Amino acid sequence: MESLETFVVESAIESEQEFYRKIIEDNLASLKLVPAIGRIKVVLRPEDSLFQMAIILRDVGTRVTTIDIADVEAKPIAGEVMISIKKEQYIPELLGKLWERYGKANISQPDRWTVSVSTDNPAEEAAFLKEMMVADPRHRLHENLVEFAIRATPEGFRVRYHLYKGNRFVFVASEEALKHEWIEEAGAMLEELTKGGKE
């Protein structure tokens, strides 16, 4: 596993620390989150039925537009826009957006690297398509972080709070009603990570 700048798991029960460290590593790998996470700290307090997680993210990129992944060319005589794919990992997202805007009947894909859009206004639609957002890695990352945190949480900890802002993520879970100070403690963990505090 690619190394994290900081990876701390704290618990009063020492055997629990290694157990949860392994769970966290396995879930980071299965959700392919390792490249996105720089620092992580998890605190388990069995006496309070409390699980806290703070994460500082690495730069995960910006929104991807069609022109970032393909060449777009208007074909006025044919009444279509030709999209020549350069980065195939975004094809499913691109097709989804095209089907939503134009309908499946107006989209054809003669080969893996080419998509054709039938339209009455090829020049206008080509200009729109060049700037159309195809994927937002940060949105997908948010979903994956929440999934990761839920998977890492002890069984039965169904009362949850999370905050995702900028490159920071906090998650708190318990079997009991969450106390405001627990969320504040997780925020303090985040500040500690932000300052690069390694143990």
**Domain extents in the chain:** 6-61+138-196, 64-135
Q: Contact at 8 Å (CB) between 181 and 199? A: no
Query: Residues near 133 by Cβ (< 8 Å), separated by ≥ 6?
Result: 63, 64, 65, 97
Give pLDDT tens digits along the chain (199 positions).
456 788 999 998 888 888 999 999 999 888 888 888 899 999 999 889 999 999 999 876 678 899 999 999 999 999 999 999 998 888 999 999 999 999 999 999 999 999 999 999 999 999 999 999 998 777 778 889 999 999 999 989 999 999 998 889 999 999 989 999 999 999 999 999 988 754 4
φ/ψ region of 103 (left if φ > 0, alpha if ψ in -120 to 50, else beta) reads left
Q: What sign has the CA pseudo-torsion 33, 57, 141, 149?
A: positive
Classified by CATH at the fold level, domain 6-61+138-196 comes out as: top7, de novo designed protein (3.30.1710)
The CATH number of 64-135, from 1.10.3470, 3.30.1360, 1.10.1740, 2.60.120, is 3.30.1360
Query: Residues near 149 by Cβ (< 8 Å), separated by ≥ 6?
Result: 53, 160, 162, 169, 171, 173
